[in-house]
Every structure is written in structure tokens, then in C-alpha cells.
Amino acid sequence: MADSNKKRVVITGMGAITPIGNTLTDYWQGLMNAKNGIGPVTAFDASAHGSQIAGEVKGFNPLEYMDRKDAKRSARFAHFAIASSKQALADAKLEITDLNAEQIGVMIGTGIGGIQVMEEQQEIYLSKGPSRCSPFMIPMMIANMAAGLTAIQVGAKGPNSCAVTACAAGSNAIGDAFRLVQNGYAQAMISGGTESAVTPLTFAGFSSMRAMSTRNDDPTRASRPFDRDRDGFVLGEGCGILILEELEHALSRGARIYAEMVGYGMSCDAYHMTGIAPGGEGAVRAIRMALKDGDLLPTDVSYVNAHGTSTPVNDPNETAAIKSVLGDHAYKITVSSTKSMTGHLLGGSGGIEGVAAVMAVVNDQVPPTINLENPDPECDLDYVAHQSRKQLVNVALSNSFGFGGHNVTLAFKKYP
């Protein structure tokens, strides 16, 4: 049973910078319209790489959210976080003042942080010597700086931290923020995940692992979760932010409430550096924990926003995990992977996918899994192929799994 002493937590604002739209509205409309954000890499010359495609953010101008000096002294992953956070605060109509600043915190996860800065500064070091490296190199590249700089930009003086759990980072950040509000350590938290790792070194590393799609001649069909012809994930970039707020605080200021966050489950496979425990055993425990935490039954679940990476290992194991927890009810719900449209944002994925799950609850409409033409026989659930679908969504789960065996499930519920 739910602990009656714990505070209820609601979502009152959201923001998004993604490969298919740079506002919450544009992102959601992109999902509903099955918009594809994947194309040839433009950030660098990828011709020497095995994978040459990505879900890049287009038309983003950090100067719309901060001044030129601050933009120059911070990395792209932090720009995305600041922009999405300012969008989310405006959406929530939550003003941070001297009176409430210490009660509003920031929790933003990232998998890799400012790797672009590190690569650029390494080139300078090798070609011009150590004295020419930027004095801002370290603060620009360290992973916590998205959370730190966002707090500086918006004046949030409450709890501040950064989850770095690979591709589960954004979801861990939202879950950790949920716990802080639930237990009374903050009235509101700015939470989510951000990533900008479309760089030569990142591509070299993932390509060496043979983890990325090499469907370079057909980029819009490269990310194909649950399809038997999938050949790896497509790297994406961006950020998703949710404002998590204590219910009574939200009601007292007349805030618009999107949905209630009710559950957070996390576990570790303790199995393999990059692989997944057979049958998604660790994911099973995370999903069960989220349901128990939210006082939910398996039959309460309407929709699962899957981790759905389009890799041979993830998709069947995640499917098995969902079936293991939900039993026969797994065949009565919808499951989809929005990575089919955005690519895989690594540590940022939990942020934009958390946003998508909440919007599904709000709008009673679920995003599709595009490019699902020939389902893998081991992937036999309803993945909402090709087009979004209207349906009642009372409870949505969002799954995220990361290298190191990190498993996270978030549970969102209709309010009231």
C-alpha cells in the first residue's frame, strides 16, 4: 500500500529540445504525426565511420535562452538543459523568487556530458600545446554542469544533483527528483535528461562495439525497434524536462496539472558490462517496483513507453520483461518506442520519453513505433506500428536501461 505520510507529486510543466521539435508542442505533434528526425550526420564529417546517421537537433539557438557569454562558456548538452528547463518553468507558470528558491531544485541526468568539448580541447592540446587549452574546459565538460548551470540560470537553490547511469540517467534523475518532493525535501524539482554526443569519438566507440545502425543509405528507416531487420540503434541528441511539484503546493497556486507521478523502480542486472540479463530479469524487478511503489496492479497499466533501442539484444528482452510482469494483460496494452523517430538520446532519452509518457496520459493518445514492417517473432506485443493511436491511458510506464545493468521504470497516472 502507498505510504500515507508521503506527499503526492504531480507534473505541472514540461519542456523539450528534440530531433523532431524544439518545444513541447512541436515535439508532441511530431510524435503524433510519426515525424522522422533521423538523417545524415551534419555535425562532423562521418564518412570514415561505420554509422553515418543521427537524430540531430535542428534550428536550435542557445541565444534564445541565455546571453552570448554564458553560451560560449557552456557546452551544447547544458544549452539543451537550460532551454528545456526554462520552457518547462514557463509552461508551469512557476516563478522562482527569493521566497521559494531554496525549495526548488534541479536534477538533470546525462550519460556522457560534454564529450564534444573534450574532443575539441584534445585537438588544441595536441596541435598547440597545453597552455592553449581553455580555462573553461573542465567546467564545460563535466556531467553535473547541466544541472548546475540550469540552477544558476533560473535561480533554483534547492537540492541539485546529476544522475550518470548511462542510458538510464534521465529516468533516474526524474525518479530521484520524485523521491525528494515525495519526502518533503523540495516543493518542486526541475528534472530530466540531456545529451549531445553526436561527435567523432562517440561514433567511433559505439561503431567499434557494432552497436549502431549502418543503414546509411536509408537513414529514415534505420531506427526500427522490434523489427526483425533492425541492425542497431541510431544516436540522437536533445533534452526533456519535467517540473515535479508537491500536489498541495501546485493546488495552492492554481497550477495546471498534467498528471501524477506515482511510481519509481530501479534495479541492477549485476550481469554484464553492456549486455542485458536473460529475459530482462533486472528490468522485471524495476517494473514490479514501480508498480508496487505506485500501489498499482499490472492490469492498471495502459501504455508502456519502451526503452526500445532497435538493437538485437534489447528489444526481445524488454518484451519478455513486460510479459513477465504483466502476464496476459501485456497483450491488452500498447507499447511503443519513440526512439524510432528521435533516435537514442543516451542519458537524455529518459527525459524526452518521460515527457511522451505523460503526454500520452494527458491526451489519451499513444505515439507510434515507426519502421515496424516485419516484427521479430520474439517481439509479439502491440507496438502501435506506423501511426499514433487514440486510446484511454490511465497509467503509463516509461522504461530506461543503461550500460552497467541499470534499469529504471517510471509510472505516471491520470489526475485526479
Instruction: Tell me the pLDDT tens digit for each residue of 155-165.
Output: 999 999 999 99
The H or E element that residue 133 is part of is none
Q: Residues 187-209: pLDDT tens digits? A: 999 999 999 999 999 999 999 99
Q: Is 207 helix (H, G, I), strand (E, B) or coil?
A: helix
Task: Tell if the pTM clears 0.95, that is, is over it.
Answer: yes
% of the chain exceeding 90 in pLDDT: 98
- Predicted pLDDT at 361: 98
Neighbours of 257 (CB within 10 A): 16
Catalytic residue IDs:
167
Q: Residues 116-126: pLDDT tens digits? A: 999 999 999 99
Q: Residues 32-56: pLDDT tens digits? A: 999 999 999 999 999 999 999 999 9
- Predicted pLDDT at 5: 85
Asked whether 307 and 282 are in contact (CB, 8 A), the reply is: no
**Domains present along the chain, CATH in parentheses:** 9-252 (3.40.47.10), 264-413 (3.40.47.10)
Those residues of the chain that have pLDDT short of 70 are: 1-4
Angle at 51 between CA 33 and CA 385, to 5 degrees: 30
- Predicted pLDDT at 61: 98
